[in-house]
Amino acid sequence: MSATADTAQAHPSALQREGHGRARQQRRVVTRAPWILLAPFLALFALTFIFPIIAAVGSSFTKVTRSGLFGETGVHSGFAGFENYARALGDGSFLASIGRVLLFGVVQVPVMIALCTVLALLLESASAKWPGFFRAAYFMPYGVPGVIATILWSFLYVPGLSPLVDAATSVGLTVNFLGPDTVLWSIANIVTWSYTGYNMLIVIAQLKSIPGEIYEAARVDGAGPFRVAWTIQLPLIRPALVLTTVFSIIGTLQLFAEAQVLQTVAPAVDSQYTPNLSAYTTAFAYNDYNVAAAQAVLIALAAFILSFTFLRFTNRKSS
Amino acid sequence: MTATPTLSRPQSVAGEPPVTRRRRPGSTTILVTGLLVVAALYFLVPVYWVVVAATKTSGDLFATNGFLFAPNFVLWDNLANVLSYGDGVFVRWFLNSILYAGVGALAATYFAAAGGYALAKYNFRGNSLIFGLVLGGVLVPGTATALPLFLFFSQLGIANTYWSVLLPSLVSPFGLFLCRVYAQATVDPALLEAARIDGAGELRIFHSVGLRVLTPALVTVFLFQLVGIWNNYFLPLVMLSDSNLFPITVGLNNWLSQADRLPEFYQLTTGGVLLSVIPLAIAMIVLQRFWRGGLTEGAVK
């Protein structure tokens, strides 16, 4: 810049032109740069999110008809309107699976959020010993894939293999973790086991961000630990609780691995036990991709509506 | 010269215990610690069971108490079987998982950082539209896209290849969201302006200034994506039919599903689960310290 300042006196107009040119060039670079930076992400996002969603929606409104006795004379696809949706929603098992995960969510999500909050508060309280060890122990299951967590727990559920069932039998109780009424809660246990520690870390991060002066003030006012937890900590960790709840709702609607893996040991889990398992079965066992697409769209819509309703609800309450 | 990131992290994590730790060895400490121990038992018992089970013969597995070691200790034989079965297919699954998760998380983090930085630091048409789309992507269940993606990849002829699992793993909408929020809070516009005056190109500024300032967020995005891909089951299950391409999750379930017909698969599965859980458990215990900041960063601010 200082180098051009000398020439400025000699040829003011020339500099002006040059300066303009450079500014324009700079602006062009600046407008191009964000797109270059965004390009790889956007290309992959389009390929793996936007395109499949459009394709799924399109395919859910399409019907494929085969002409000829065995479909040998040709395959035609045409607009189906809401026919696939009607078939998906007319399928009692699919509806039942939605009802099942809703029941699951209503019970499991609050239990897990309450548990992770209590553990976080206990770990952050002054009375906790060895908080580092406990934090690590609680978080560990998050690193165990859902499938492997289910395999692990299934060993503790299967009669003959499970020391828990053995122990119950020896005191005269008959427990059946895999019966038609209990297996849903056995799955809830696996999910709780997997994600409580992870949610707890999110809550702890938020607890740590509460300024120390607030605690000082509360102590000066003579508030005990329960009061501090109830009137200071819980209201201030609300955002973390909202975040973990929304992610848990989405996760609940996606339940798949746990149910699919338990199928091998629990006859009560059928091939349409959860909505996702239902869509998977429709696609790969019945080869009915159009109805499966309609089911996938319905699951995504349900996840959207539920998370938005929850967010709206919590926002209104806080304001 | 001006490119030195002199910025401090905006993270408000105070890191100090809320109440000064007083020596009060009383009933409260005992009660709290007791509750924490009970919770720890709950989280550790399944892992303990599999450690015990992996040391037993197939007969002892069903005949002896699951929480007690049997006199016949055959852990090393079992593990040798796991590693050698089917020409070492278990090792192959493990390496596949490392490939999917390692490469996927690394690339996804880089792409999310570039995108988030671009959205945070440049004003351009379509900026908020793109951000809105990506935010919607965070809420779309991953399993909802897997089926249509499979149909599409089948048409392209890349279903049942490494690419079919790797390509979807390269995208992290949540990562981009986090990077944008973090970049907005930390990357000082004056710093970028200074670099520009020094004549650095925009891409160079991103790589030399942006990435360095974003590092704490990048660690979080990387870990999040790494665990996400490692734990993913639905996508590889849908995409892959060649067992040589399986990640460890699909592979182990494949073994378990044969166990009701061939009981020796119980031993293979327990041994395999042990071998796959141990490194993960260690990784989680080591990594949890890196974890705590970042995740709420986006949600809280």
Could you tell me the two tokens for A264?
């091998």
B262 SS3 class: coil
Taking CB atoms and an 8 Å limit, are B250 and A152 in contact across chains?
A: no
**Does A254 contact B46 at a Cβ distance shorter than 8 Å?**
no
Q: What is the DSSP-derived secondary structure letter of residue A267?
A: T
pLDDT per position as a tens digit, A97-145: 999 999 999 999 999 999 999 999 999 887 778 888 898 889 888 888 8
> Which of B134, B259, B288 is nearest residue A139 as measured by Cβ atoms?
B288
Write down the pLDDT at residue A288.
Answer: 85
Please report the pLDDT score of residue A67 as a whole number: 66
Tell me the chain B residues in contact with residue A145 when contact means C-beta distances shorter than 8 Å: 230-233, 248-249
- Closest CA of chain B from A47, distance in Å: 8
> CB-side exposure of A108: number of CA atoms within 13 Å?
27
Contact A124 B17 (CB under 8 A): yes
Average pLDDT, consecutive stretches of 10 residues, N- to C-terminus, chain B (301 residues): 37 44 66 91 90 84 79 85 87 93 95 93 88 83 81 88 94 90 86 86 88 87 88 91 92 84 81 85 74 47 34
Digit-coded pLDDT (tens) for A220-249: 888 888 888 888 888 888 888 888 888 888
User: What pLDDT is recorded for position A26?
Assistant: 59
What's the number of CA atoms in the CB half-sphere (13 Å) around residue A26? 12
Instruction: Say how far apart CA A248 and CA A242 lie, in whole Å.
Output: 10
Instruction: List, for residues A7-52, the tens digit of each pLDDT value.
Output: 334 444 444 444 555 555 656 666 788 899 999 999 999 998 888 8
**Residue A273 corresponds to which tokens in the numbers above?**
């036990």
> A–B: how many Cβ contacts below 8 A?
314
Instruction: State the CB neighbour count (10 A cutoff) for residue B189.
Output: 8
A70 at the B interface (CB within 8 A)? no
Ramachandran angles phi, psi of A62, nearest 5° = -110, 145
Interface of A with B in 153-212 (CB under 8 A): 153-156, 160-163, 166, 193, 196-197, 201-202, 204-212
Place A158 in a pLDDT band, splitting at 50, 70 and 90: confident
Q: Of B109, B139, B220, which to mutate for an interface test with A (greatest number of A Cβ within 10 Å)?
A: B139
A46-76 tens-digit pLDDT: 998 888 888 888 888 988 876 666 656 667 7
CA nearest to A240, candidates A197, A211, A204: A204
B206 and A45 in contact by Cβ < 8 A? no
| B46-300 CATH fold | MetI-like fold (1.10.3720)
| CB-closest option in A35, A148, A256 to B143 | A256
Eight-state DSSP code of residue A74: E
The answer to whether the CB atoms of A51 and B152 lie below 8 A apart is yes
Closest approach of A85 to chain B, Cα-based (Å): 15
Kindly list the residues from chain B whose CB atom is less than 8 angstroms away from the CB atom of residue A166: 65-66
Question: A61-98 burial by CB neighbour count: b if 16+ within 10 A, else e?
Answer: bbbeeeeeeeeeeeeeeeebeebbbebbeebeebeebb
Nearest to B218 by CA among B184, B176, B170: B176
Structure-derived torsion over alpha carbons of residues B260, B265, B266, B271, reported in degrees to the nearest 10: -160
Chain A residues within 8 A of B231 when measuring between CB atoms:
143-146
- pLDDT above 90 for A218: no
| Cα separation, B68 vs B56, whole angstroms | 10
CATH entry 1.10.3720.10 includes domain A91-318: yes
CA distance B112 to chain A (A): 7
Query: Measured on CA atoms in the order B150, A44, B163, A144, is the torsion positive or negative?
Result: negative
Tell me the average pLDDT across A142-171.
Answer: 85
Predicted confidence at residue A100, as pLDDT, reads: 92
Q: Percent of chain A having pLDDT more than 70?
A: 87
Helix axes B75-121, B211-231, angle to 10 degrees: 140
Nearest to B109 by CA among B171, B183, B162, B166: B171
Is A240 in Cβ contact with B300 (below 8 Å)? yes
Q: For testing the chain A interface, which of B28, B32, B180, B207 should be mutated: the one with the most A CBs within 10 Å? A: B32
Please name the residue ranges forming H helices in A209-288. Answer: 212-220, 225-228, 234-236, 238-253, 257-262, 275-284
pLDDT digits (tens, 9 = 90+) for A301-318: 888 888 888 888 877 665
Burial class (CB in 10 A: 0-12, 13-18, 19+), B135: middle
Give the DSSP per-residue string, A272-315: TSSHHHHHHHHHHTS--HHHHHHHHHHHHHHHHHHHHHHHHHHH
Pairing of strands A62-67, A74-79: antiparallel
Give domain limits for chain B. 46-300
